[in-house]
A and B are shown apart, each in its own frame.
Chain A
Amino acid sequence: MRRLLLCAPRFYGVEYEINPWMKLSRRPDLACALRQWEALRQALTRLGATIELLEPQQGLPDLVFTANGALVRGEEAILSRFRHLERQGEEPLFRRWFAAKGFRLLTLPQDIAFEGEGDALFWGGDLIAAYGFRSHIRSHRLISEIWSIPVVSLALVDQRFYHLDTCFCPLDEHRALYYPPAFDAYSLAALRGLGKELIALDEADAVAFACNAVVLGKDVLMQPCSRRLEEKLRQRGFRLHLLPLGEYLKAGGSAKCLGLYLDNPVF
Chain B
Amino acid sequence: MASQTLMLEGHLLDSHLLSKVLDLIEAQGGCAKLERIELGMRRQDLSRAWVEVTASRQSALDGLLANLRPLGCEAVEETKKGDLVLAPAPLAGCFPANFYATSNRLTEVYIQGRWLAVTPSGMDCAIRVSLRDLTAESVKMWQAKKGDLIVVGGRGVRVAPSAALEPGSGEFGFMDSSVSSEKPKAIAIRRLAQRMKEIREKNQGSIVWVAGPALVHTGAREEAAWLIREGWIHRLLAGNALAAHDIEAELYGSSLGVFLASGKAQRHGHRNHLYAINEIRRLGGIKAAVEQGVIQSGIFFEAIQKPIPFVLAGSIRDDGPLPEVITDALEAQKAMRQELQGAALVIMVSTLLHSIAVGNLLPEGVETWAVDINPAALTKLADRGTHHAQGLVMDAKSFMVALLQALRE
Contact = CB atoms under 8 A, between A and B. Distances in A.
A150 B14 contact: yes
A148 B41 CA distance: 12
Main secondary structure of the interface of B (DSSP, over half): loop
A110 interface: yes
Nearest to A129: B15
16 contacts: A104-B190, A104-B191, A107-B175, A109-B168, A137-B70, A138-B72, A140-B72, A141-B164, A142-B170, A150-B14, A152-B11, A153-B10, A153-B11, A153-B15, A153-B72, A186-B20
Interface of B: 9-11, 14-17, 19-20, 43-44, 46, 70-72, 164-166, 168-171, 174-176, 184, 187, 190-191
B164 A190 contact: no
User: Size band of the A side of the interface?
Assistant: 20 to 34
Nearest to A146: B170
B10 A137 contact: yes
B44 A190 contact: no
B9 A137 contact: no
A106 B174 CA distance: 6
B238 to A, nearest CB: 31
Contact of A105 (B10, B17, B43, B187): B187
Q: Which 10 A-B pairs have the closest CB atoms?
A: A186-B16, A153-B15, A109-B169, A137-B72, A186-B20, A150-B43, A190-B16, A141-B10, A150-B44, A190-B15
A193 B44 CA distance: 16
Interface of A: 99, 104-110, 112, 131-132, 136-138, 140-142, 144-146, 148-155, 184, 186-187, 189-190, 193
A32 B305 CA distance: 72
Contact of A152 (B15, B70, B165): B15
Contacts of A153: 10-11, 15, 17, 72
Nearest to B187: A104
B43 A142 contact: no
Contact of A141 (B46, B166, B171, B191): B46
Main secondary structure of the interface of A (DSSP, over half): mixed
Contacts of A112: 169
Contacts of A187: 15-16
Contacts of A148: 44
Contacts, number: 84
A140 B20 CA distance: 16
A137 B74 CA distance: 12
B19 A186 contact: yes
A141 B190 CA distance: 23
Given A99-B184, A186-B20, A145 B14 contact: no
Contacts of B16: 186-187, 189-190, 193
Given A137-B71, A189-B16, A151 B169 contact: no
A149 B19 CA distance: 22
Contacts of A186: 15-17, 19-20
Contacts of A104: 187, 190-191
A144 B11 contact: yes
Contacts of B168: 109-110
Contact of B176 (A107, A140, A141, A149): A107
A189 B16 CA distance: 7
A151 B72 contact: no
A164 to B, nearest CB: 13
A196 to B, nearest CB: 13
A243 B210 CA distance: 60
A150 B46 CA distance: 8
Contact of A190 (B14, B170, B190): B14
Nearest to A103: B187
A192 to B, nearest CB: 10
Given A138-B72, A144-B46, 13 more contacts: A99-B184, A104-B190, A104-B191, A105-B174, A106-B170, A107-B174, A132-B70, A141-B9, A142-B164, A145-B46, A150-B11, A152-B11, A153-B10
A144 B17 contact: no
Contacts of B191: 104
B170 A145 contact: yes
Contacts of B174: 105-107
A159 B116 CA distance: 43
Contacts of B187: 99, 104-105
Contacts of B176: 107, 110
Nearest to B169: A109
Contacts of A106: 170-171, 174
Contacts of A108: 169
A151 B11 contact: yes
